[in-house]
Amino acid sequence: MFKLNAAALSLMLCVAAALNIHSGAQAPVVTPSAKAHAGEETFNRKCLQCHAVHQGQYSFGPNLEAEMKKPHHKSAAEIGTIIKEGKGKMPGFADKLAPPEIDDLLAYIRTL
């Protein structure tokens, strides 16, 4: 009888996912870069008016690239809470962005 170890099984699952081989209804494969790209679009629509993202640019809110380069920057959960609930002069966006948009926005911010 053929025995699969965990590494071989993991490899087979990864290959199947890469080839999009599965049973049932097809679900779209969303890569991290696709989420970050979608998040960048959301950022440009909702956040760019207050937050700069490149070094040397200044805006009303913190420069997010500078914030993410700090040695002890906020975790994804902390950033998500700030996006949803707001902080200081920043309003909350829980009623303006759907949860997948917030996830995409987090993916983009983490690339900065």
Q: What is the pLDDT of residues 79-101, one digit of tens each?
A: 999 999 999 999 999 999 999 99
Mind listing the pLDDT tens digit for each residue in 18-70? Answer: 444 444 555 555 677 899 999 999 999 999 999 998 888 888 899 999 888 99
Domain assignment present for 27: no
pTM over 0.85: no
Domain assignment present for 70: yes
Phi and psi angles of residue 87, each rounded to the nearest 5 degrees, phi first: -160, 130
Q: What is the mean pLDDT of residues 68-75?
A: 88
DSSP 3-state assignment of 73?
A: coil
Domain assignment present for 36: yes
Domain assignment present for 17: no
Q: Do the beta carbons of residue 93 and residue 81 sit within 8 Å?
A: no
Quick check: 109 pLDDT over 90? yes
Q: Which domain holds residue 38?
A: 32-109
- Kindly report the CATH number assigned to the domain that includes residue 64: 1.10.760.10
**pLDDT of res. 111:** 92
Of 11 and 60, more confident: 60
Q: Is residue 105 within a helix (H) or strand (E), and if so which, with residue range?
A: helix 99-109
Domain assignment present for 92: yes
- C-alpha distances (whole Å) from 80 to each of 33, 48, 74, 95 are 19, 17, 10, 13
Domain assignment present for 14: no
Domain assignment present for 24: no
- In single-letter form, the type of residue at position 77 comes to A
Domain assignment present for 42: yes
Q: How far is CA 7 from the centre of its chain?
A: 28
Q: Do the beta carbons of residue 51 and residue 112 sit within 8 Å?
A: no
Indicate the number of domains in the chain: 1
